[in-house]
Chains A and B, each alone.
Chain A
Amino acid sequence: MTKTLIINGETVSIDVDESMPLLWFLRDRLEFTGTKFGCGSGLCGACTVHLNGQAIRACVTPVGSLADQSITTIEGLSDNGDHPLQKAWLDNRVPQCGYCQAGQIMNAASLLSQNTQPSDQDIEMAMQGNICRCGTYQRIKKAIRDAADELAKEA
C-alpha cells in the first residue's frame, strides 16, 4: 500500500522513489516551490520546513522516512501570511533577494515554538545554520525579537 504523509494539513501519497529528499518531492512533484534548494547537504538552511512543528532540512530528509508524519512548509505556516514572524519580517523589511527567507522564517518559528523568549545568544545559536548571502542577519535578529515580544503580549 502506498505510504502517505501530511503536508500543510492535507494527506499526500508518497508516489515517488522513497529515497527522494522531501525538498524535491515538494518542489518537483507537488510544485510547492516556496521551499528552496541552496546546498543539498544541510549546510545552508534554505530548505527548512517543519516536521511535527520542529525545523528539519528537507534537502537531506528522504520522503519515505516521513510516512504518516506532518510537514509544514512556508506556504502552510499561517492562513493569511499573518504568523507573528511573517509580520515582523515585513515590519523590519528583512528580505533583500528573499531566497533564503522561507528557510529563515521556518527555522525561527521552530525556535519560538520551543523558546518563547529567546536571548540574543539563543537566536544566534538557533539561526546559525541558515545562510543569507545578501546579509540580512541584523534585521532577522530584530524581527525574531519583535515576534517574540508580540507572542508574549498575546499570551
Chain B
Amino acid sequence: MSNLTRRSFLKSATAGTSGLMLGITIPASALAKDKPFKQDEFNPNAFIHLTEDGKTTIYCGRCEMGQGISTALPAAVADEMEADWEQVTVLQAEGNEDKYGPQATGGSASIRLMYIPMREAGAKAKFMLEAAAAKTWDTDIKNCYAKKHFVFLKNSDKKLSFGELASLAATMPAPENPKLKEKSDYAYIGKDLKRHDQDDVVVGKRTYGVDTKLPGLKYAAIVHCPVLDGKLKSVDKSAALAIKGVSDVVEIERLDVPYGSLGGVAVVADNSWTAQQGVKALKVEWDAGKNGIYDTKTYKQQLIANVEKPAQVMDARGDATTGLKNAKNTHSATYTGGHLSHSPMEPNASVVWVQDDSCEVWASTQSPADIQKVLGQFLKRKPKDIKVNVMMAGGAFGRKFKCDYVHEAAAISQQVKAPVQLIWSREEDMRTGYYHSTSAQHLQAGFDDEGNVDSWLQRVAFPSINSLFDKSVKRAPKGATKDVFNHPFGIENMQVESGEALAHTRIGWYRAVYAIFYGFAFSSFADELAHKAGMDPFEFLNKLYDNNTNPKQAEQIERSKAVLALAADKSGYHQRDKLPKGQAIGLAVHYSFNSYVAMAVHVDVDGDNIKVLNVDCAVDCGQILNTDGATAQMEGAVVMGMSLSLYTEIVFRDGQVVNSNFHNYPVLRINEMPNVRVHLIDSDKEPTGLGEPGVSPFPPALTNAIFAATGKRYRDLPIKPISV
C-alpha cells in the first residue's frame, strides 16, 4: 500500500562524460577525447553535446515559458549541424551567461540575439565531424559531407555515424568562421516543427518550477505587505504555529532592490496546504505608508487631466502647435487603459536551498542572472556562487523576469536551514505583482488643405517601469516615448509630450509593454481620422504611410503596408459591405519589437453583446524559424489581446489591489474564442521575435470593428470592466 510515493529526482543538466562538446568559441584543445570532460572546465557557450552512441543534446540558454524558444533555436543548431532532430534531446541550460550568452528572456529578443551564434555553433560541429571523417578516410574534408547524423564520403558508399565520429571530432580544430547554410538547404529552419516537450506535457511529465521535489523539502506560503513601501506593524503567529505540521513563521523584510520582496510573512510546513492554512491563521497588521492613498479610479482621472494640458516635450519635428492652429480641420481624442496582471497559470514558485557554502535555486524564471544578482546581494555572496536551475515556466508574460519570489524562498531557506518550496497563492500573485501601467493618452491631429494629416500631437502619461529602478521618476522618459515619435506614419509636424505620472505600485513589463497602449492609440486615432475625412480606413492608413518620405523608414513602411494589405485581403475586408447588419471588420497594424503585425477583426455586435467571429493576422517577422511556433504565438496574442480589450483590469483602492482571483479578474475563456487565421509572410530578412508583437494590433482592430458595426467608439480599455 502507498507504494505510489516516489521521489522525482531532478535531471541534471550535465550529460555524458565524453564526446563532442562545442560552443561558439571553445578552444578545440579542451575537447580531448581521453580526458573525461567536466563542463565547468570548459567555457563558454557550450550548446552541443554529442556522445559516442550518437545521442545529441542541445542546450537552450534562453528561458522557456511556452513561447517555443527551446524548440526554435535548438532546431536551428541541429539544422546547421546536420543532426537528425529525432535524435536530439533539448535541455534547458542552467543560469550561466558566460557560457550560454544573454539569458534574460524578454523583449521578443531571443531569436534576434541568438539565431546566428547558435547556428554557428551547429556549423562548427558539422565542420569538426566532417574533419574527423576526412581524417579517418585519409581524404580532404571537401570530399566529406554531413547529412542526418552521418558523414558521407562523396562518390562512395562509405559513411560514419555522428556517434562513431564524436571522439575524434572533439580533437579537430574548430573553424573560425563556419559557413552557414543557404535557405534552400534548410532542413528545420522555417519548417513546421512540433515542440520538443509536448509529448511530456500530455502525460503530465513536463516539470515546472512549481514541481521541484527534493529530499527534506519544506513547503512555504506567504502573505505580502499589500502596499508598496508599506511595513509590517504587528503579527500574531500563535494560531499559525498551533496548526499541526506548521514548523516556522518567518518575517521577510522588504528588500529594496528592483526585484526584491515587497516584504511579508511566510509560514513553513510539511506541505503547501498546511502552509496556506497557516498564512490564513496569521493576524497581521500593516502600516500602508504613503502609497496607501493609491486609488486607480482617481489616478486615471488625474492622468487624463495631465494629458489634456501641456506636458513635457520629449521629441518634436516641424511645428505641431502652429500646424494644429492653422489646420483646416482638427480632431482630438483621449484614450485610457488599466493596470494589468500577467496572471500566468503557474503562480510564482521556486525551490531554494541556502547552505553555508552553497545556494541552489530551481525556479521558473525569465532571467536567471537577475536571480544570481539579487540573491548575491541578499546573501552577500558572489552572483556566480548562486546556482540557478532554470525550470520550465508555466506561463510568464514578463512577470517571471522579476525574482522577488525567489528572494523570499531564499530568505526562508536561510532561516529554516532546509530546502524550501515557496508557492504564491493566486491571490498573492494577483495582488502583489508588477503591473502593466495604467495609462492615458491625448491625441490631436490637423489636416492640411489637401486632406493630409500634417500635424500630430500625442501626450502620454503612465507610471513608468523606470520607477522600479529610480523612485524619483515622475513621468515616462524618452526611452519609453521614442516609439511614439518614431512611428512610421508620415506626419510633417509631430510633437510627443510626457505627462506627470508618479508610480504608487510596482510597474513591470507585460507582454507587448508600451505597444499595448501606443498601438491602441495610433490605430484607433487613425481610424477616427479616416472616418472624419470620409475615407476608407484601409486607404487612409496607406495614405498615412505613403506620406512618409523618410528614406530610413522606407522598409518599415513597405513591410507595414504589406501586412496590412494581407490581413485586409484574407478577412474579406474589401467586400465588407456584403456583411449582415451588426457585422463589421476593423483593421489595425503595428510595428513593435522589430516585427510587423496587422489584424483584421470581424465582429458581430448586438447591443452589449460583442462576438468576435474571425481574426486574420498577417505577420512579417523576417525569416521564420518554426512556422507552427509563429502561428501559436499569434493565436495566443489574440487571446491575450482580447482579454485585455474586454475584461482584465487591476483596480487599487486604499493602496491595495481589490481583485483577488479569476472571478474578479476574468480572462478570456474558450466559449469566446474566435476563429484565428494566421498568415505568415515568407521572408529572407533577418529573423525577429514574435512573443509580443501580436498583442498590440488586436484591441484597436476590435474597437475599430465595433465602431464600424455600431457607430460606438470605445476609447477606454477594458471596454467591459468588471466592478470589484
Contacts and interface: CB of A to CB of B under 8 A. Distances in A.
A4 to B, nearest CB: 7
A142 B338 CA distance: 33
A133 B67 contact: no
Contacts of A10: 3-4
B345 A46 contact: yes
A26 to B, nearest CB: 10
B219 A134 contact: no
A97 B392 contact: yes
Interface stretch (B94-102, B124-132, B197-205, B574-582): B197-205
A34 interface: yes
Given A99-B394, A128-B669, A35 B194 contact: no
B8 interface: yes
Interface stretch (B75-83, B268-276, B318-326, B556-564): B268-276
Contact of A20 (B195, B204, B271, B668): B271
Interface of B: 1-8, 65-68, 194-195, 197-199, 201-208, 210-211, 213, 219, 244-245, 271-274, 276, 343-347, 392-397, 423, 425-427, 628, 632, 635-640, 661-663, 667-671, 673, 675-676
A136 B344 contact: no
A110 to B, nearest CB: 15
A73 B219 CA distance: 22
Nearest to A76: B204
Interface string A10-32: 11110111001101100111111
A93 B194 contact: yes
Contacts of B68: 96
B344 A97 contact: yes
A28 B66 CA distance: 25
Which one of A11, A95, A100 has the greatest number of beta carbons of chain B within 10 Å? Answer: A95
Contact of B347 (A20, A37, A140): A37
Contacts, number: 209
B5 A40 contact: no
A28 B198 contact: no
Smallest CB-CB A-B distances: 7 pairs: A34-B204, A97-B66, A135-B639, A99-B394, A74-B204, A135-B636, A98-B201
A119 to B, nearest CB: 13
A31 B668 contact: no
Contact of A98 (B2, B206, B245, B667): B206
B213 to A, nearest CB: 5
A50 B347 CA distance: 23
A75 B203 contact: yes
15 contacts: A12-B2, A17-B244, A33-B210, A40-B276, A40-B427, A73-B204, A81-B203, A90-B199, A99-B66, A99-B395, A131-B667, A133-B640, A135-B635, A136-B636, A138-B673
A136 B632 contact: yes
Interface string A77-104: 1100100001001100111111111100
A12 B345 contact: no
Q: Is the interface of A mostly helix, strand, loop or mixed?
A: loop
A96 B202 contact: no
A11 to B, nearest CB: 6
Most chain B CB within 10 A, of A44, A94, A123, is at: A44
A30 B425 contact: no
Nearest to A43: B662
A11 B667 contact: no
B667 A33 contact: no
Given A28-B219, A33-B213, A36-B210, A43 B669 contact: no
Contacts of A96: 66-68, 632, 636
A13 B2 contact: yes
Contacts of B8: 31, 33
A101 B201 contact: yes
Contacts of A136: 632, 635-636
A37 B423 contact: yes
A53 to B, nearest CB: 18
Interface string A57-79: 00000000000000001110110
A30 to B, nearest CB: 5
Contacts of A39: 426, 661-662
A13 B1 contact: yes
Contacts of B2: 12-13, 15
B278 to A, nearest CB: 12
A38 B65 CA distance: 16
Given A90-B198, A96-B67, A135-B637, A31 B6 contact: yes
A56 interface: no
A43 B202 contact: no
Given A13-B2, A35-B204, A90-B198, A99 B346 contact: yes
Given A24-B272, A97-B346, A133 B395 contact: yes
Contact of B213 (A12, A31, A44, A134): A31
